[in-house]
Amino acid sequence: MNFIPTKIPDVILVEPTVFGDHRGFFMETWQRKNFAENGIDYDFVQDNHSKSSHGILRGLHYQMEQTQGKLVRVVEGSVFDVAVDMRVSSETFGQWVGYELSAENHRMLWVPPEFAHGFYVMSETAEFVYKCTDYYAPEHEQSLLWNDPALAIDWQLVDGKAPILSDKDANAPVFVDALKFT
């Protein structure tokens, strides 16, 4: 596997080695020792799998307690995946990184605890799977407005069309008003 640092050093893009031929492909998606040696030294306690239609944007979400690190990947379709640093004490506080993850490129993104996370579906549908370092706790979940001008996230919206949002995501607070980690 290739572990690629991003402009936010704690967020890591992972490119697995894919072995393929006329029968299909094989790739390793997680191996404790290899990941730990490359800065992702966490235990995972929950796996999630979602399916979304074209134009849906989910996020930006994070938990103030039971913070979740997430190793995310796409098994069908493609998404634009974003992580925002919510740690006040960090040199990259308020910065974001984003990458296209797809079934074709097999990339994964490590989103550490205390980061807001979201994704936008670029394909007709997308199936998104992720491993979490802590359990989902809806009572601790927070949201951050996806299009806050202060963050200026380039979501790579297909044809510039507004995304489809949940009410929670459409009414999330802007970065300046959102809860942050000290």
Residues with active-site annotation: 61, 130
Nearest residue to 55 via CA among 153, 123, 127, 152: 123
Helix (H) or strand (E) holding 125: strand 125-132
Whether 140 contacts 66, CB under 8 Å: yes
Separation between Cα atoms, residue 134 and residue 149, nearest integer Å:
30
Whether 8 contacts 109, CB under 8 Å: no
Q: Is 156 left (phi over 0), alpha (psi -120 to 50) or beta?
A: left
